[in-house]
Amino acid sequence: MAKNKLKRFAAVKNFDNFYEPVIKEEFHLKGKWHAEHFHNDNPIILELGCGKGEYTVGLAKHFPNKNFIGVDIKGSRMFVGAEEALELGLSNAAFLRTRIDFIEDYFDANEVEEIWLTFSDPQPKKPRKRLTSPLFIDRYRKILKPGGVIHLKTDSDLLFEYTEEQIREHKYNQLELSWDLYGELPADLDSKTQDILHIRTHYEKLFTEKGATIKYCRFTVN
């Protein structure tokens, strides 16, 4: 790991909005995020594969009455969002370092209200590892409240087409779907929703500079 990354990785471990569970030990906040971390009963929303956590921080600013948790395996990336959240005094934003594959070990049934998937790896050769594969959707179903919404924002035609197929095949309830988010953002969306969809992540900026069209959908699975 590069020196700067190592420094950030070491620093983030001391932040009180960052958790890195010890493998094989039961995670103390499972089922207790409200009582023991956020100290309120507000809804919990996850950003899975959050990288630097632009959505976690951006949404936390927009919705002071909701709680947001960015999840990623890369601690040095999450350092950026975790530090910003602390500097801004956003007590409704937190970060969890783990593989998303084990998400049920960190949240209880019905503990999560919504999930955001932001620029997830398309995994061209490993469909099972895509964050909208049946394997992952089954994991989300175990922690999401009934009717809990899953949002996907991506540059990837492959991942978006695959997700569209999954929605059709498994009869998920599609709430919104656009192959060109910024070109065809419905005019009747309220300004807050428009602002939210305009939050640009690190990867979104990289892909947009290369000419990618940004796609977005939201759906429910239970």
Ligand X SMILES: C[S@@+](CC[C@H](N)C(=O)[O-])C[C@H]1O[C@@H](n2cnc3c(N)ncnc32)[C@H](O)[C@@H]1O
Q: Is-contact 145 112, C-beta < 8 A? A: yes
Tokens of residue 96, six digits:
């969890």
Looking at the Cβ atoms of 74 and 218, the one nearer to ligand X is 74
CA distance 47 to 153: 11
Q: Does residue 204 touch ligand X according to CB under 6 A? A: yes
Of 16, 41, 72, 121, catalytic: 121
Piece in contact with ligand X (CB under 6 A), picked from 4-12, 119-127, 156-164, 170-178: 119-127
Q: Is-contact 167 174, C-beta < 8 A? A: yes
- Of 55-74, binders to ligand X (CB under 6 A) are 72-74
State the nearest-atom distance from the C-beta of 32 to ligand X, in Å.
22
Looking at the Cβ atoms of 37 and 130, the one nearer to ligand X is 130
Active site residue 121: yes
Q: Does residue 107 touch ligand X according to CB under 6 A? A: no
What 8-state DSSP symbol labels residue 22?
P
- Of 139-198, binders to ligand X (CB under 6 A) are none
* 3-state secondary structure (DSSP) of residue 176: strand
Q: Is-contact 36 28, C-beta < 8 A? A: yes
* 3-state secondary structure (DSSP) of residue 164: helix
Looking at the Cβ atoms of 111 and 204, the one nearer to ligand X is 204
Q: Does residue 215 touch ligand X according to CB under 6 A? A: no
Q: Does residue 49 touch ligand X according to CB under 6 A? A: yes
| β-bridge mates for residue 97, sequence order | 72
Report the run of H or E that residue 49 belongs to, with start and end. Answer: none
Piece in contact with ligand X (CB under 6 A), picked from 81-89, 158-166, 178-186, 202-210: 202-210
Q: Is-contact 145 107, C-beta < 8 A? A: no
Q: Does residue 116 touch ligand X according to CB under 6 A? A: no
Looking at the Cβ atoms of 90 and 100, the one nearer to ligand X is 100
Q: What amino acid positions are annotated as catalytic residues? A: 121
